[in-house]
Amino acid sequence: MNGLNKKKKLNDKNILLSHGDGGLKTRELIDALIIKYFGNKILNKLEDSAIISELNSKIAYTTDSFVVKPLFFPGGDIGKLSICGTINDLASAGAAPIALSMGLILEEGFEIKHLEKILESASNVLKETNTFIVTGDIKVVEKNCIDKIFINTSGIGSISKNINISSENIKPGDKILINGSIAEHGLAVLSSRPEFNFKTNIVSDCAPLCSLVKDMLDISDKIHALRDATRGGIASILHEMANVSKKRIDIYEELLPIKKEVKSLCGFLGLDPLYIANEGKIIVFADPYDSDKILRTMKKNKYGIDSRIIGEVSENFEKSAVIYHTKIGTTILVDSFYSEQLPRIC
């Protein structure tokens, strides 16, 4: 969301759901109010993790609130999601997590057994990634003043001195990699809502990607940019990265891994998988010289078995753009999403 901090006035008088979905309305709100009041050199970059280099070591710092509905879905729950989300934001900055915080806001009457399930699930990710929550807060509000439980996590991570991961570093010729198939998280959450009447076997890809990123950074110093493709899907993330780097990005349908079931459900519901949220997918921009080596390394990690090279970067001639090449040979200009297709998916 860089380069969007021109001073603007909001036309809306009231908050809309779309002000919180990470799309264009969210950017309007950020431009009109957040940058206006809080603008500073680090925040204005609007990266998922802020990089603070005042200390002796470079620090990444990130925060996210989780309001997913329902709390439990195939492949995860709000607890697992809240840890993975923050770890993945740090990983996307090339940072190894040092410590996390967790703020719980609970509804009076919320069942303790559900809270316990959520916390246990969060703790499983912490154990797997050898990460620790070091500070936290609990608030409870009266019944009907919150929908069950919201979780905020923040995280700090350390970035090795030689690592400089940023969308600004994307170069013409860079290969674009992804660690597996897309659009599963959004559909898994959607399909677990009571109003949804289909039965699917789609499971959220929710996963912590710090080990995958570490593996990659260990064997290559030619990784230029990383981004986890959450709200808005890979389309919005690629669109943003093209904008920031002022490059042209080409991706290819025949290279992009999408599970058959995801394709059918999207076709049936009229949803575009490119725009559906993932919670365990990272997009990698790397020098073509290292891309095969990085791909082999990714495939060895359990969260990268289905990794693929899905496209490449070239110089932009007129303006930055993301071009999607379909199997039948047509090209589609990929836009950012104006509004999230599925609210409260994280």
**Residues 145-164, interacting with its own copies (CB under 8 A):** 145-147, 150, 152, 154, 156, 158
Total residues interacting with its own copies, rule: CB under 8 A: 84
Q: Smallest distance from the beta carbon of 135 to its own copies, in angstroms?
A: 4
112 interacts with its own copies by CB under 8 A? yes
Residues 274-333, interacting with its own copies (CB under 8 A):
none
Q: Given candidates 6, 7, 37, 197, which one binds its own copies under the rule CB under 8 A?
A: 37
Among 2, 72, 98, 128, binds its own copies (CB under 8 A): 98
The only residue of 15, 172, 296, 331 in contact with its own copies, by rule CB under 8 A: 15
Residue 263 DSSP SS3: helix
- Map 51-105 to HEC letters: EECCCCCEEEEEEEEECCCCCEECCEEHHHHHHHHHHHHHHCCCCEEEEEEEEEE
CB-based contacts of 267, cutoff 8 Å, min separation 6:
none
Give which of 313, 151, 337, 156 is closest to 242, Cα–Cα. 313
134 three-class SS: strand
Q: Does 29 bind its own copies (CB under 8 A)?
A: yes
- Binds its own copies (CB under 8 A): choice among 3, 70, 267, 343: 343
**Is 102 one of the binding residues for its own copies (CB under 8 A)?**
yes
Q: Which is nearer to its own copies, 19 or 224 (CB)?
A: 19
| Closest approach of its own copies to the CB of residue 288, in Å | 32
Cα distance between residue 227 and residue 321, in whole Å: 17
Closest separation between CB of residue 56 and its own copies, Å?
Answer: 4
- Considering Cα of 106, then 108, then 114, then 117, what sign does the dihedral take? positive
Q: Which of 61, 73, 303, 337 binds its own copies (CB under 8 A)?
A: 61
280 burial via Cβ count (<10 Å: 0-12, 13-18, 19+): buried
10 binds its own copies (CB under 8 A): yes
